[in-house]
Homo-oligomer: A and B are copies of this chain.
Amino acid sequence: MSRRSGVLEFAVLGLLRESPMHGYELRKRLNTSLGVFRAFSYGSLYPCLKALVQRGWLAEEPSGGLGEPPASLTGRRAKIVYRLTAEGKEHFEDLLSQTGPDAWEDEHFGVRFAFFGQTSRDVRMRVLEGRRSRLEERLAKMRASLARTRDRLDDYTLELQRHGMESVEREVRWLSELIESERSGRPARGTGPDRPETPGQDRPDRPEPGPSDNTDR
């Protein structure tokens, strides 16, 4: 009933903090920004939006905000544009600053990372290090369990185990590199060149209609 999920709620607040949007677009951005990690359907998004409005974290702007013509002229069905309220912003910042174990478990880490641009450096460090030690712990258990059961397992199970461990080891290396980068300045190591410092504050413009963004399955 309440629909106050963890990940979805967090992501919605985070995206709306960057700029107001309506549900349909939000869902597209959700499924590209968070990339591989999660995909959400309208069946969860719309109820979530309503719940967030009821809590006072979002406000609906019935039609196109301020400078836009009413729906009756554009023809399109009335969009409901959602925008983060002051309380919503405050709440999101609370969430951002949390560094409990929740922050680095599998379900949450991806979305936390996705909003690292909005996160303070020390929180980023704690989350990255928390994640890394969580994975190292897991790795130790896997090694122990493998040593115990190695000869009972068939080739495929063994191969699955091996590949799983390698994946975890790879993520640990990735985290180590990121932690190293954090310690000594900016993330670096992107595809493009270093962008010094763009806070990305108020941008009342919407980026671009972006014709076909088919993220549907």
Listed stretches A65-73, A79-87, A90-98, A145-153; interface member: A145-153
B155 close to A190 (CB less than 8 A): yes
Listed stretches A42-50, A56-64, A202-210; interface member: A202-210
Candidates B115, B141, B167; contact of A167 at CB < 8 Å: B167
Bound state CA distance, A199 and B206, in angstroms?
52
- Residue tally, chain A, CB below 8 Å to B: 59
Residues of B with C-beta under 8 A to A195 = 155
Residues of B with C-beta under 8 A to A192 = 150, 158
Shortest distance from the beta carbon of A151 to any chain B beta carbon, whole Å: 8
A35 close to B142 (CB less than 8 A): yes
Residues of B with C-beta under 8 A to A207 = 147, 152
Could you say how many copies of this chain the assembly holds? 2
Given the interface pairs A114-B156, A142-B36, A156-B114, the reply to whether A174 lies near B164 with Cβ below 8 Å is no
B144 close to A210 (CB less than 8 A): yes
Instruction: Tell me if A24 counts as interface (CB < 8 A to partner B).
Output: no
Given the interface pairs A170-B170, A186-B155, the reply to whether A205 lies near B32 with Cβ below 8 Å is no
Instruction: Tell me if A6 counts as interface (CB < 8 A to partner B).
Output: no
Across the A-B interface, the 7 shortest Cβ-Cβ residue pairs: A116-B156, A36-B164, A117-B154, A35-B164, A155-B187, A32-B145, A147-B205
List residues of chain A with CB under 8 Å of any chain B CB: 32-33, 35-37, 110, 113-117, 138, 141-142, 144-145, 147-165, 167-168, 170, 174, 178, 186-187, 189-192, 195, 198-200, 205-210, 213-215
**What 20 additional pairs, Cβ within 8 angstroms, besides A36-B167, A145-B215?**
A32-B145, A33-B157, A35-B142, A35-B160, A113-B160, A117-B154, A145-B213, A147-B205, A147-B206, A148-B213, A150-B192, A151-B200, A155-B187, A155-B190, A158-B190, A159-B178, A159-B187, A159-B189, A167-B167, A170-B170
